[in-house]
Every structure is written in structure tokens, then in C-alpha cells.
Amino acid sequence: MASLAFAVSAIVAAQIPERAQWEITFSQVEAAAGLSDIRTVPAESLEARVMARSWAPVVPMTPVPFLRLFRADGTVRAQLFVYWAPPLSPARPAAAIDSCRDGICVRPIDIKEQRDWKDLLATLTRQDACPTQTSETLMVCSDCDQLWIKTTAGGKYREQSCQQPAPDTPAGALLLVMKTAQAAR
């Protein structure tokens, strides 16, 4: 059974590209938000960036959340943005508060919910934000929520991907915060 599940997952992985042609990339969103690539930040930086993958939104090219947690002046801060591609979403033109670059726009969103951002950032940089459960059941979901998480701490870069994160995981908690803040805008 395990070998069958492995074979099916290999076939599915081969059919779903890492980046679809229509997909907005992490680097495009970072650039539109005026952020450098997280891999190029100074070695003493402590930062996490969490992006909901844009390849399967419920409504084509609805704004998708992007969260940045970073340490500045000894304090951990959170910034939330939503991103979209105006050429693919004519019903959502860019506004004056939006920052657009190369066909991608981002808009800052206020986060009203208070969290222990310092603890969350430390957790993201130290452990798996989306632990997997051992199961013989093969789950394939093409339109599930998926998070990309990039972190840097002490000069070490790390990248994680979480498909349909459980609510009791750090990734699930982040997804809930991001969606709640996005809906409240």
C-alpha cells in the first residue's frame, strides 16, 4: 500500500508544476511590496514571510494574503498585505494606496488581532510549521489552502510548504490570522 501511495504521489507531483505559468511567485510579491529577497537580508536578521499560494483561489485572482514577521529595534512586528494581478482581475483595479510592480499589486492590511509575534517568529525559524502526520491515506487536493513559508535567522535560510494546514499547527494559526485580517479589511 505504501509503495502504491508513493507511486501515485510521484505521478501527481510530476503533473503539478512547482510554479504554474499563471501563478504569482514569492519574488514578484516581495518586489511589489518593496522587499528584497529574504535570502539577501543581513545575517543578523530574524524574519519570516508567509504567502498563501495564488494558484487556486475560489474567485479568480481575488486578493491573496502575504504576511511578514520581522525584528526591528528589538521588537518583532507584523505586516500583512494582499496581492493580486490587475491584468487577470479587471474588476479590481489598483488604487492610490497600492504598490504595483511588473503587473502585481500589493495593498497593506491592518492587523487588529494581537498575537505573540515574537514567539511565533521564533517557532517558525526553529521548527516545522506544518508537521505532517504519518498516514497510509493519500490526500491530493488541488484547490486546498497552501502556504509557503520562508525564514531567515542567524544567517540560515529555510523554506517550508504546507498544504491544507491543520488549525492546531503554527501554519494553520497563521492562515487563520491572515484570512481573518483579510476579511475584516
Q: How far apart are CA 2 and CA 137, in angstroms?
A: 9
Do residues 65 and 181 touch, judged by C-beta distance below 8 A? yes
What is the pTM for the complete model shown?
0.76
Q: How far apart are CA 140 and CA 89, in angstroms?
A: 28
Could you identify the residue written with the cell 524574519? Answer: 47
User: Between helices 117-126 and 170-184, what is the axis angle to 10°?
Assistant: 140
C-alpha cell at position 178: 491572515
Average pLDDT value for the chain: 76
Q: Which pLDDT tens digit goes with each residue over 120-160? A: 898 888 888 776 655 555 556 666 778 888 999 989 999 98
- Give me the count of residues in the chain: 185
Do residues 132 and 122 touch, judged by C-beta distance below 8 A? no
Residue of 45, 49, 41, 85 lying closest to 67 (CA atoms): 49
Q: Which pLDDT tens digit goes with each residue over 75-97? A: 999 999 988 887 666 556 667 77
Q: Which pLDDT tens digit goes with each residue over 7-61? A: 444 444 444 444 555 678 889 999 999 999 999 988 889 999 998 876 544 444 6
What pLDDT shows up at residue 4? 43
